[in-house]
Structure 1
Amino acid sequence: MAKLLTILLLSISLAVSFANAAVWVITYPQSTLDNDLRYEYPLELLRLALDKTGVRYELKPSASGMRQARSVKRLEENLEINVLWSMTDVMREEQLLPIRIPIAKGLIGWRMFLAPKNSAFLTANIDNLSDLLKYEPVQGISWPDTKILQANGFNVVTARDYIEAEQMITSRLADFFPRSVIEIEREIETNPNSQLILRNGLALKYPTAMYFFVNKRNVTLAKLIETGLERAIADGSFDALFYEHFGETIELLNLENVKYFELANPLLPRLTPTSKRELWYLPQ
């Protein structure tokens, strides 16, 4: 009996040691763009969350670039990648397992507008939503935003991805390109030769969240990321990282005073934690 107990204790000790020594290999979809600055914040936040849990991990991109539709499909199939970040909707939460902590505090639902230089849209008199509905936005065909805009009466021109959307708006196949405030400044910085410029002082706002997602069966990884994010929120490091990345953008775009039109989001999942005020950016 003593020998059996010793063997059992040794086995448990070895198992714990192995678990502590094991390295989580966490693979995310590589961007289709070179030097994509939009990836900086989600990756830093994911590292922060994993660091808070104390696990050993290796965070790496997929072998090749992936458009959003393909990355969602591959994660659903549990192939090539095991985490991604995306705006949520009902369908996406049926396909994948969300970690329901809005990683950008809802700023993904604040949309400002890019348009070609010298376009009529940049100087058009837009006093209300009806005025804006006269113009056609361009969006990715698989982006949740497309359905939200359509549900609110916009005639949306669709593209396969960001690159094609930019080409279509530059070619005047659409009037404006709504981009979230967490993306728009980085995109302008990344492409200084772009023919698109920002229309200041005007925005759309709709309730939505960008989450980390994992495969439906990967409950352990979901719990790991959720635990790390909750610890980062509790000790203030989540907000510190958020404002490090977006505080200046919020000031530059003057979100406290911008005129915005609020849209309904019929795709917002029922379990979105809208009542937890600490998870959202709320302008004064």
Structure 2
Amino acid sequence: MRGRWRMLAVLLAAVITGAAAPLSAQASAAAPAAREVRFPGRGEPGDHRFDFSAELLVLVLQRAGGGWDVRVVEAMAQPQALQAARDGDVDVVALPSLASERSRLIVVRKPLRRGLLGMRLLLARPPDADRLMRIESLETLKRDFVMGYGDTWMDREVLADLGFRLSTGSSYPGLFDMLRAGRFDYLHRGINELEPELADARLAGRDLAVVPGIALFYPLDDYFHVTPRRPELAQAIERGFKRALGDGSYAALFNRHFEAAMRDAKLQERSIIHVSGYPVPPGTPLEDFDVLGLVRSTAVFNPPSINAPR
């Protein structure tokens, strides 16, 4: 697992910069020694939900000026990743924006996917998909159907407080098996998550269907959260993120990961149901949660001219 993630980071560095040398070799040319950045790759073998976050971290640190060596370490669930960053055992974690207010970490308030994580499609057994697509309101969904959810996912209690009926599981792949077995009625999945899940027969790619015609939306995405022991790293991530947004490299990475998924979701043909009451922490840059604008645009995300400093 660790080797796969390390190779992913190195390959991304070569693709984005157009260089053939590994990331650590490039960094050594800019500084006497690369500064290590430990980033937990949450997930299990074959789980690609967090590839984008790891690649984006490499990108923004390159745009910040280099001299950083990103090392993806062992997988962690969200609560464990949060505590590991507090303790300084890892340097950066990708956690939901909802967690920022109480995380006690340094938060870089840039949604990693422009809010795409909060654009949710429903996954169900085929006999239930027709019933779900005919719901008349969010209240009907809450009243008549049970949602499956991970028991360590950080907004589980929020959704319960909003009135969703939940059945939880401790295993990510196990949730899909629970859905097949009828333990609950549906999972809702971020568009950024669903494409690889549908391609995997262990997960959504067998005997399950995406409910047509509807989608849920609430202002949720991940931020980079940095251990309080590395304030200079948080400053570099913020600086590099701004440059990547300005020079088009963020747009290129976003489109490579999500353009096909957004197109295949056919969001323009869906009724988007807003989940009212979902909490928004103070300081949330809602103008950056602009995925609804991306859906309505003819291009997924139009990069500006490449004129920002490197």
Same fold judged by TM-score > 0.5? yes
Q: Which residue of 1 aligns with 2:258?
A: 246
1:235 deviation in Å? 1.1
In structure 2, what is the Cα distance between the partners aligned to 1:47 and 1:93? Answer: 26
In structure 1, what is the Cα distance between the partners aligned to 2:171 and 2:282? Answer: 28
Please give the secondary structure, in 1, of the residue aligned with 2:103: helix
Q: Which residue of 1 aligns with 2:72?
A: 61
What residue identity is the alignment partner of 2:115? G
Query: Map of 1:197-212 to 2, 5 A cutoff?
Result: 197-212=209-224
- Which residue of 137, 149, 162 maps to 2:147? 137
Aligned residues of 1:121 and 1:175 also touching (Cα < 8 A)? no
What residue identity is the alignment partner of 1:101? K
- Which residue of 186, 196, 204 maps to 1:186? 196
Identity of aligned residues (%): 27
Q: Which residue of 2 aligns with 1:271?
A: 283
Aligned residues of 2:122 and 2:215 also touching (Cα < 8 A)? yes
Q: Which residue of 2 aligns with 1:214?
A: 226
In structure 2, what is the Cα distance between the partners aligned to 1:60 and 1:26? Answer: 6
Q: 1:268 to 1:191 in 2, by over 3 A?
A: farther
Query: Map of 1:151-190 to 2, 5 A cutoff?
Result: 151-190=161-200
Q: 1:97 to 1:168 in 2, by over 3 A?
A: farther
Aligned residues of 1:48 and 1:232 also touching (Cα < 8 A)? yes
1:281 deviation in Å? 4.8
Q: 1:102 to 1:32 in 2, by over 3 A?
A: closer
What residue identity is the alignment partner of 1:120? D
Q: Which residue of 2 aligns with 1:150?
A: 160
Please give the secondary structure, in 2, of the residue aligned with 1:102: coil
Please give the secondary structure, in 2, of the residue aligned with 1:95: coil
Aligned residues of 1:102 and 1:280 also touching (Cα < 8 A)? no
Q: Which residue of 2 aligns with 1:3?
A: none
1:53 deviation in Å? 1.8
Please give the secondary structure, in 2, of the residue aligned with 1:61: strand
Please give the secondary structure, in 2, of the residue aligned with 1:69: helix
Q: Which residue of 1 aligns with 2:87?
A: 77
In structure 2, what is the Cα distance between the partners aligned to 1:269 and 1:58? Answer: 31
Q: Which residue of 2 aligns with 1:29?
A: 40
Residue-pair matches, total: 264
Q: Which residue of 1 aligns with 2:308?
A: none
TM-score normalised by length of structure 2: 0.77
Please give the root-mean-square deviation of Cα atoms over the aligned residues, in Å: 2.4
- Computing the radius of gyration from Cα coordinates, the structure with the larger value is 1
Q: Which residue of 1 aligns with 2:12?
A: none
In structure 1, what is the Cα distance between the partners aligned to 2:31 and 2:276? Answer: 46
Q: 1:225 to 1:91 in 2, by over 3 A?
A: closer
TM-score normalised by length of structure 1: 0.84
Please give the secondary structure, in 2, of the residue aligned with 1:200: coil
Q: 1:226 to 1:159 in 2, by over 3 A?
A: same
In structure 1, what is the Cα distance between the partners aligned to 2:77 and 2:189? Answer: 17
1:18 deviation in Å? 11
Q: Which residue of 2 aligns with 1:229?
A: 241
1:226 deviation in Å? 0.8
In structure 2, what is the Cα distance between the partners aligned to 1:109 and 1:224? Answer: 26
User: What does the per-residue CA deviation read over 1:96-152, in whole Å, with 9 as the maximum and x for residues that have no partner?
Assistant: 222101110001111111123x44344443122122121010111232342332232
Q: Which residue of 1 aligns with 2:57?
A: 46
Structure 1 residues not aligned, in runs of 5+: 1-16
